[in-house]
Amino acid sequence: MSYRFLVLSVIFLTSFCSVSYAETDRQKIKAEITQANSSLKKARDNSNNIKVVIDKNKSEINRLSRKQYDAENKITSITKQLIESNKTKQTLTAEVEVEKEALAKQLLAMYSSGEESHLRLLLKQDDPSDISRTTKYFEYLNKSRIDRIKTVRKKLTRVKKIEGDISKDRERLKSLRVTLGDDRKSLQSELNKNAAALKQAKRVEVSKQKKLNTLKKEEAALQAVFEKLIRAQKAQAAKEAKAAALAKKKAEAKKAPAKVAKAAPKATPKAAPKSTKKSGKRTTLNFTANKPFSSLRGRLSWPVKGTISKKYGSARNQKQKWKGVLIKAPGGQRVHAVARGKIEYAGPLRGYGYVVIIQHDKSYRTLYTYNRAVYRKTGDIVQAGDVIAAVGNAGEDEDTALYFEIRKGSVPKNPAAWCK
């Protein structure tokens, strides 16, 4: 009986200990899960805070880049003005010297003829007609001398004013150069902050899948911008077509000019653009405003000087491909419009930095992203070669580069087939 009791007691104690250990394990696991969730929340909050910092830095970089660009343009303008002012001053100074020399010769001639030349003529008792002619000659000489003196005074006054303007321009130039130097230091400081924030953002990335999801969202946001622009273009075209149809209907309602109204559309078919296409093939570098974008295939200039690091169609990651080209270029380098067009979008877009989208003819558009700053605004008309932005960071990459796309509608085209 006692043996049996002893066995039952051992079994009971063993079971109790097992239950106790299992409960302890559950508590440990629960604590670890809570800690992991807390760490994940902190990581997400940190990541969001870093993105806010990056966006703020990008905005400041854009402001400073624009300020620097404006200052450089002013310096160039004032420098040209100084060169022109100096040229004018040299010309006027030379003219004053000529006038002075002529006056000196006149005074010398006057001195040689004597101070009382009129009296001497009368005392000589020469022919009155000779005296009259000589007197007239002296009057002309005196008038000429007075006119020369006035001219010299005017030119000296003008030279003095130009010298004053030159002095002011030099002071302005000096001040602008100091300001530009300070702005460059501020810009470099912001770029350094941005680079540090980008490195920190890389360290807090949770996984490759999260990064892929972010890229997909950013690409979808960019695609949404394009689709919005295309819808607006179609709506405008439909509105214009409706207005044209209404105008045609009103014209047909009038009996007398009905035939004339029918003849008018024949005068404006789309024959002119075809001839423009043919003439466009003869031009290689000079782009004109009336040249269709489609005729510039293979003759467009690249938007920035650099090295293509990512080709069109190459793998961006496991599930995405590049729809344009990535051109490595120094940060701050000027980005140029490749053809004439209207800026449809100019501003920041998450994941793409500062973005510029230019609409060309026949639904063609060009896209310029990863800019640190944009120098134009929505609605501006730009010509081929016009500066529109400055090169910035390639997304989360530390390298500076420009991402460039060409699209017809929403369909991407290979930029290498269009640019030489």
| Together in a domain, 235 and 158 | no
Residue at 352 is within a domain: yes
Q: How far are the Cα atoms of 48, 258, 320, 403, 414 from residue 314, in angstroms, in the given order?
A: 30, 58, 9, 14, 11
Quote the tokens at residue 320: 């995405």
Chain centre to alpha carbon of residue 228: 23
Residue at which a domain ends, from 203, 234, 263: 203
pLDDT, residue 5, reads 53
Closest CA to 280 of 270, 265, 293: 293
| Together in a domain, 126 and 229 | no
Residue at 283 is within a domain: no
pLDDT, residue 276, reads 37
Residue at which a domain ends, from 137, 168, 203: 203
Chain centre to alpha carbon of residue 51: 25
Q: How far are the Cα atoms of 10, 154, 286, 389 from residue 3, in angstroms, in the given order?
A: 11, 136, 109, 93
| Together in a domain, 382 and 313 | yes
Report the distance separating Cα 323 and Cα 352, nearest Å.
14
Pairing of strands 364-374, 400-408: antiparallel
Residue at 360 is within a domain: yes
Q: What does the DSSP 8-state code read for residue 295? A: G
Query: For the chain, what is the domain count?
Result: 2
| Together in a domain, 226 and 136 | no
Residue at 309 is within a domain: yes
- Tally of CB atoms within 10 A around 65: 26
| Together in a domain, 156 and 221 | no
- Tally of CB atoms within 10 A around 364: 20
Closest CA to 304 of 346, 356, 349, 363: 356
Residue at 376 is within a domain: yes
Residue-wise burial string across 384-419, b where 16 or more C-beta atoms lie within 10 A, e elsewhere: bebebbbbbbbbeeeebbbbbbbbeeeebbebeebb
pLDDT, residue 259, reads 47
Pairing of strands 387-393, 334-336: antiparallel
Residue at 46 is within a domain: no
Q: How far are the Cα atoms of 3, 402, 408 from residue 367, in angstroms, in the given order?
A: 90, 10, 11
Pairing of strands 400-408, 411-413: antiparallel
Quote the tokens at residue 295: 């005729």
In this prediction the pTM is 0.55
* CATH code of residue 80: 1.10.287
3-state secondary structure of 291: coil
* CATH code of residue 318: 2.70.70.10
Beta-bridge mates of residue 346:
356
| Together in a domain, 183 and 245 | no
Quote the tokens at residue 113: 């003829």
pLDDT, residue 412, reads 93
Cβ atoms of residues 332 and 391 within 8 Å: yes
| Together in a domain, 304 and 392 | yes
pLDDT, residue 28, reads 56
| Together in a domain, 186 and 234 | no
| Together in a domain, 65 and 179 | yes
| Together in a domain, 230 and 175 | no
Report the distance separating Cα 265 and Cα 316, nearest Å.
49
| Together in a domain, 150 and 219 | no
Residue 395 lies in domain: 208-254+298-417
**SS3 per-residue string spanning 87-129:** HHHHHHHHHHHHHHHHHHHHHHHHHHHCCCHHHHHHHCCCCHH
Cβ atoms of residues 408 and 359 within 8 Å: no
Beta-bridge mates of residue 47:
none
| Together in a domain, 138 and 220 | no
Cβ atoms of residues 395 and 351 within 8 Å: yes
Residue at 111 is within a domain: yes
pLDDT, residue 256, reads 52
Q: What is the pLDDT along the chain (420 residues), one digit of tens a residue?
A: 455 555 455 455 555 444 454 456 556 555 655 655 555 556 556 666 767 777 777 787 788 788 888 888 888 888 888 888 888 878 878 887 887 777 777 677 666 655 445 555 555 555 556 556 666 666 676 777 788 788 888 878 888 888 888 888 888 888 888 887 887 788 788 778 777 777 766 665 555 556 666 677 777 777 788 788 888 888 888 888 888 888 777 777 775 554 444 444 444 444 434 433 333 333 233 444 557 888 888 889 999 999 999 999 998 887 888 999 999 999 999 999 999 999 999 999 888 889 999 999 878 999 999 999 999 999 999 999 999 999 998 655 568 999 999 999 889 999 999 998
Residue at 161 is within a domain: yes
Residue at which a domain ends, from 139, 174, 203: 203
Please report how the helices 2-113 and 128-203 are oriented relative to each other, as an axis angle in degrees rounded to 10.
170
Residue-wise burial string across 241-262, b where 16 or more C-beta atoms lie within 10 A, e elsewhere: eeeeeeeeeeeeeeeeeeeebe
